[in-house]
Structure 1
């Protein structure tokens, strides 16, 4: 089965899904499903034997760190954890110098950071692929796993509808782009003043014009959820916005995903969340722990989607 895994993206960076064609994203999803089957069947798949991934973390993480480390191990490679405070980047070494140094040691760099511009600068000076594992503006690895999950459950993607309810954050941005690329209608419902960034809405809108996807930006969660195949939410207070938590709790209360709101979606709709979740805030326990919830399948798919990504970017 080793020869079934395609490698169309070798040497490229993975900063946002806007940089990849619909066909390339579909290929990544199909490869991820193949890798998942291999892992479930106990079939060894050491596509990255002898390879090393350097992982820079400027933000704390559970799923990202574990999935990338385990993924590299299953692929026969090695993952090296690099906290900002453990490397010279945290003491003033420049991003270009950091990129050039790491490029001499590792075969790929994964970074979980704040400013997206910093990740772009890292990629501009890196001789090896750079993977964006989260910035304040984008979370493409999560979106890739999300669309993989929707594909597994529904059997197809084009013409489906995903509704995202909550803060117009990095998750909303990446989902808009991912859906637009794959012909999935996407509705984003956020409180006034918390909508996605207009420049990213423009990017997703332009992509959707080519694929036929419908993009809706609204302040009404019921409008967004109507006839949706998947309902998605995220925490109301992302990392870095803790000082706004009290205000956000009041502002976002009408945007809670509960049984009543799920009732406006398709009767076979699934619930998705990138986690961690705060039950009783953005989602009720009844929904996230109920039969419509696929959040832990989604979590598992981070592993397989990222393995497919690493093989494509770093494999021989």
Structure 2
């Protein structure tokens, strides 16, 4: 399979591990996975087979729907020589008709890995605690580690380094901003998150990020000022104002977040070669203007593609 000695060592090291949070891995480990993802990307572009998971099966549990997560994992398993089984909330009685622990134990007898996209992060943790096979977090209300690793891969491809960069997130204090801040803290990227008052990130995630930043030397900050966040930024990131599963007065929320739209005026404070990033789907005219997301600085579709490659690297390494 044309594996280098370093890649064989990496796969041996990661085999059987879970992928639940970015903070569970060191900077060096994340770089190893990103390097492997870039190799797999190049192999796929060149039409070179890389069937590392021949005969392996991935169970994909979706309590939250998603275009990118389902297609990228399903396609990734196919390209790696394995197969993926889609299990919607109608197909599986997770924590309802059957306990989470029992579901984990049963699936461990049938398949080689589990990817789950759900609501509470405790569900993922309980699933991983009771499974004897790797569990991958495809998204929870608190974290989205696969997306963040794809984002880091994209930054590395475009900037060639993680050193000396400033990352700005403008929007809601949600699972994306929390995971991105932690990802930046691990990699040593300065990160400023700008959120409206009352929509701050959870304090325990900020604390984890600060502890990791003490190791990497990154500057980590949360503010209510979007101009402060984007000043001299190398990367500007945003997300929808109302995350999936959020209930409330959407019109009131739009008014509250209006000053946090990433538009032509706001990005003037960033470096000229800044990258605009968004995990998608995006609502043009709300969290981002069409001119920005469709402009020359936007790399949103490179991000989306890299979900495929980085998740293949995760799958091949863990399973």
Aligned to 1:3: 3
Aligned to 2:210: 205
Whether 1:141 aligns to 2:143 is: no
Write the distance in 2 (CA, Å) between the matches of 1:164 and 1:207. Answer: 18
> Number of matched residues?
314
Aligned to 1:48: 53
Write the distance in 2 (CA, Å) between the matches of 1:265 and 1:216. Answer: 17
Aligned to 1:237: 242
How far is 1:244 from its partner? 3.1
Whether 1:100 aligns to 2:105 is: yes
The CA deviation string for residues 32-68 of structure 1, in whole angstroms up to 9 with x for no partner, is 1111000001110001111100000000110000000
How far is 1:99 from its partner? 0.2
List runs of 5+ in structure 2 lacking aligned partners.
none
TM-score, L = length of structure 1: 0.98
How far is 1:2 from its partner? 2.2
Q: Is the 8 A contact 1:84 1:90 kept in 2?
A: no
Indicate which of 306, 309, 314 corresponds to 1:304. 309
Write the distance in 2 (CA, Å) between the matches of 1:273 and 1:180. Answer: 19
1:132-281 to structure 2, matched below 5 A, reads 132-281=137-286
How far is 1:90 from its partner? 6.8
How far is 1:91 from its partner? 4.6
Write the distance in 2 (CA, Å) between the matches of 1:236 and 1:149. Answer: 23
TM-score, L = length of structure 2: 0.97
The CA deviation string for residues 102-144 of structure 1, in whole angstroms up to 9 with x for no partner, is 0000100000000001110000000000000000000000000
Whether 1:118 aligns to 2:128 is: no
Stretch deviating more after TM superposition (83-92 or 187-196): 83-92
Write the distance in 2 (CA, Å) between the matches of 1:32 and 1:248. Answer: 38
Relative distance call for 1:208 and 1:90 in structure 2 (3 A) is closer
How far is 1:22 from its partner? 1.0
Aligned to 1:80: 85
Whether 1:131 aligns to 2:170 is: no
Write the distance in 1 (CA, Å) between the matches of 2:30 and 2:122. Answer: 23
The CA deviation string for residues 62-83 of structure 1, in whole angstroms up to 9 with x for no partner, is 0000000000000000000011
How far is 1:88 from its partner? 3.1
Write the distance in 2 (CA, Å) between the matches of 1:46 and 1:22. Answer: 27
Write the distance in 2 (CA, Å) between the matches of 1:151 and 1:37. Answer: 15
Secondary structure at 2:139 match in 1: coil
The CA deviation string for residues 149-194 of structure 1, in whole angstroms up to 9 with x for no partner, is 0000000012211100000100001101111111111110000010
Write the distance in 2 (CA, Å) between the matches of 1:34 and 1:23. Answer: 17
How far is 1:242 from its partner? 3.9
Write the distance in 2 (CA, Å) between the matches of 1:84 and 1:24. Answer: 33
